[in-house]
């Protein structure tokens, strides 16, 4: 959410920043609602002061035997009470209008974010590894002979419908090994604290990280009112909701492996084959809660953590800065890491690392107490995939595929697979 004081002080700059994201000016509307709200609050305070004065005078009139004055003042007290209640209700209504409007506006991009309309305007900033030169036509993951026994879309469709998969045998084990490898790397090498959180959350948590009120259709809600998390960014970030941390406790760096659920609203017809785009998937998430001065450096550090996972697995990738038109709702700057998929002959997103500044912290009321005292200030939050497990499985299978349909697996997974480093063409580990 946005700082109303900053909008009051420089409404033109606020509109200019939103314009970079393709949005129309809105500062005038915000300030109009804000002025009405403040006017109602001031009027209520003045009415309260008049009521307090009249209340004192009621006793004095009664003591003097001034019955007419007593009745007049008593009526005035009752009138002011009703007026105060009315004004407070009106102020609360304006406050709700203002909060709803601010909650629906995206974060403001940093100055160094490239302007652009869509993914075609993103800017590459890093590339690692070279796509393998195959002496045969590489296949997509679901067409590999060694994969087919362990990747069952038909049974998943019977159980749940489209965009689900049942993993079995060696494929399920490789998938699990990837998640454990990612967690171990982030904990032992990158200094993140492993956390295991619920996958069901209340409305407030979804508001806190920006999924609500605008993007409810992208997630699933139970009949009891809980939401299934689209990513553990929601739970990890909200662990500090409503808290005041000590500056010495920052940065707070966390990682979690969780199930994730997305309705994929608006993606009809996209990536319908295979397990690239699923309603249920798994991800290893990274979240950092930092001092405002640390945010930009932390973005680069987290990007490096995600890139390191792919490098250890020997997967070629490139990193791009998202332009203003492609950046997510809550981000001020985002680095997308795209892994090479030879079956599609292109790079596809496998991690998105974002700096949110104080945008989420204001929605969650998450603050820290500066060293040496002073007024609490809002923390800055960051989140990123470290990385998407299913997509990493796809990349491992496609990049390591052999002509007979077997797959050479990354050496880094050997300790998690009992020393086995090959998926045979019959679907076994060897």
Choosing from 296, 391, 406, 420, which is the catalytic residue? Answer: 391
- From 21, 262, 296, 420, the catalytic residue: 262
Give the SS3 label for residue 279: coil
What span, in angstroms and rounded, lies between the C-alpha atoms of 25 and 36?
Answer: 19
Is 352 considered catalytic here? yes
Nearest to 225 by CA among 208, 260, 201, 205: 201
- Residue corresponding to tokens 């403040």: 38
Residue 225: strand pairing partners:
none
Q: Is 348 a catalytic residue?
A: no
* Nearby residues of 422 by Cβ (< 8 Å), 6 or more positions away: 406, 407, 408, 409, 429, 430
Contact by Cβ (8 Å): 407, 147: yes
| Coarse DSSP helix, strand, coil percentages of the chain, rounded to the nearest 5 percent | 45, 20, 35
User: Which residues does the annotation place in the binding site for ATP?
Assistant: 262-264, 349-352
Q: Is 273 a residue of the active site?
A: no
Contact 44, 81 (CB under 8 A): no
The answer to whether residue 362 is catalytic is no
Helix (H, G, I), strand (E, B) or coil at 160: coil
Candidates 176, 349, 362, 369; catalytic one? 349
Q: Which residues are annotated as a binding site for L-serine?
A: 231-233, 262, 285, 383, 385
Binding residues: 231-233, 262-264, 285, 349-352, 383, 385
Long-range pairs for 88-92: beta carbons < 8 A, 24 or more residues apart: 88/40, 88/44, 90/40, 91/37, 91/40, 91/41, 91/44
Q: Which residues contact 420 (CB under 8 A, 6 or more apart)?
A: 409, 414, 429, 430
Cα–Cα distances (Å) from 1 to 8, 33, 34, 103, 109, in that order, read 15, 16, 15, 6, 13
* Continuous H helices in 141-222: 153-159, 169-188, 203-209
For 135, the token pair is 């002496």
Q: Which is the catalytic residue, given 219, 258, 288, 352? A: 352
Contact (CB, 8 A) for 273 and 163:
no
Q: Please state, in angstroms and rounded to a whole number, the distance separating the CA atoms of residues 405 and 136.
A: 11
Per annotation, catalytic residue among 132, 176, 277, 369: 277
Distance CA 328, CA 334 (A): 8
Active site residue 354: no
Residues with active-site annotation: 262, 277, 349, 352, 391
């Amino acid at each position: 959410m946005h700082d109303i004081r900053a909008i009051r002080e420089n409404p033109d700059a606020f509109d200019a920043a939103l314009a970079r994201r393709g949005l129309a000016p809105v500062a005038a509307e915000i300030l109009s609602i804000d002025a009405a709200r403040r006017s109602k609050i001031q009027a209520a305070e003045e009415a309260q002061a008049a009521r307090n004065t009249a209340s004192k005078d009621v006793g004095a009139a009664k003591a003097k035997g001034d019955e007419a004055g007593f009745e007049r003042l008593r009526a005035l007290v009752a009138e002011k009470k009703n007026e105060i209640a009315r004004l407070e209700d009106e102020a609360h209504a304006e406050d709700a209008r203002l909060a709803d409007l601010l909650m629906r506006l995206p974060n403001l991009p940093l100055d160094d974010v490239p302007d652009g309309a869509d993914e075609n305007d993103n800017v590459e900033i890093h590339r690692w590894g070279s796509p393998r030169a195959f002496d045969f036509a590489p296949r997509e993951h679901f067409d590999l002979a060694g994969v087919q026994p362990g990747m069952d879309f038909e049974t998943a469709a019977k159980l749940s419908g489209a965009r689900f998969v049942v993993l079995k045998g060696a494929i399920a084990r490789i998938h699990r090994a990837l998640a454990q490898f990612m967690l171990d790397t982030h904990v032992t090498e990158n200094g993140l604290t492993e956390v295991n959180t619920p996958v069901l959350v209340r409305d407030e948590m979804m508001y806190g990280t920006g999924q609500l009120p605008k993007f409810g259709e992208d997630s699933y809600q139970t009949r009891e009112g809980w939401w299934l998390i689209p990513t553990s960014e929601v739970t990890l970030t909200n662990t500090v909701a409503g808290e005041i941390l000590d500056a010495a406790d920052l940065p707070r760096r966390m990682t979690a492996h969780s199930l994730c659920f997305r309705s994929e609203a608006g993606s009809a017809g996209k990536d319908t084959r295979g397990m690239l785009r699923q309603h249920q998937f798994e991800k290893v998430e990274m979240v950092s809660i930092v001092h405002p001065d640390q945010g930009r450096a932390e973005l680069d550090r987290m990007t490096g953590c995600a890139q390191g996972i792919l490098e250890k697995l020997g997967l070629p990738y490139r990193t791009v800065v998202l332009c203003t038109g492609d950046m997510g709702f809550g981000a001020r700057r985002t680095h997308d890491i795209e892994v090479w998929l030879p079956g599609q002959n292109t790079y596809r997103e496998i991690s998105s690392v974002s700096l949110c500044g104080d945008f989420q912290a204001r929605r969650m009321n998450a603050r820290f107490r500066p060293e040496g005292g002073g007024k609490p200030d809002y923390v800055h939050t960051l989140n990123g995939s470290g990385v998407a497990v299913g997509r990493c499985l796809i990349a491992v299978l496609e990049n390591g595929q052999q002509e007979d349909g077997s797959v050479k697996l990354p050496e880094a997974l050997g300790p998690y697979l009992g020393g086995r480093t090959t998926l045979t063409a019959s679907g076994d580990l060897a």
